[in-house]
Amino acid sequence: MDKLLQGAIKFKEEDYNEHKELYESLKKQQNPETLFIGCADSRVVPNLITGTLPGELFVVRNVGNIIPPYTAQNDTYLATISAIEYAVVLLGVKNIVVCGHSNCGACKALYDEHFGANTEHLQKWIELLHPVKEQVALLSPKTIAKRIWLTEQINIEVQIDNLLTHPFIKEKFQNDEIKIFGWYYIIETGEIMNYDLKTKEFRVIKSDYPQSK
């Protein structure tokens, strides 16, 4: 905890002063262009991997970067959905990034029958990933490493599909009022792969990567 306390002091004395005008401009309102939906994993730091400043990202994080699909009752998993709704409907973000990552504990948990003993809420949450497991099984991966790699990436695809089941997202997407991106962050190399919704392929983002229009 001492490290956090010292960090708070350093932030006020150094980092805050460096961007003082920016923080003052954010005093009364925020106007982020992008909603970043990522995993709660401590190794995934949205502003760090995107090079963004305060006010540029609206961030929603949970175990497994899961987006619960729309239901007629729509009265469960409200924390995630309400945050997404706030960003899209009230803040009017123009982009949504769904970001998964390598070595994801939630994806590994799908194949561990002993995972999450005495964690009833976590186990219920992980059940939302069962459609991902079913899709991976159809591909019959030959190694555990390949299975996990596929699970982590297919999870991103499934969460984008889930996102589009929500009417307020689907309408904006179809009207080209919002763009959706799927990212796969490889922790050990620092690479980020972008998912092409048309070709359904992941490609590493490099300096020559086509810019979004």
- Any idea which fold 28-204 has? Beta-carbonic Anhydrase; Chain A (3.40.1050)
pLDDT at 186: 97
Bridge-based pairing of strands 34-39 and 57-62 is parallel
pLDDT at 170: 97
pLDDT in tens, 57-99: 999 999 999 999 998 776 788 999 999 999 999 999 999 999 9
For the chain, which residues make up each domain, given as ranges?
28-204
Q: Which residues of the chain have pLDDT under 70?
A: 74, 208-213
Contacts of 166 (CB under 8 A, 6+ apart): 70, 81, 84
CA-nearest of 187, 196, 193, 190 to 205 is 193
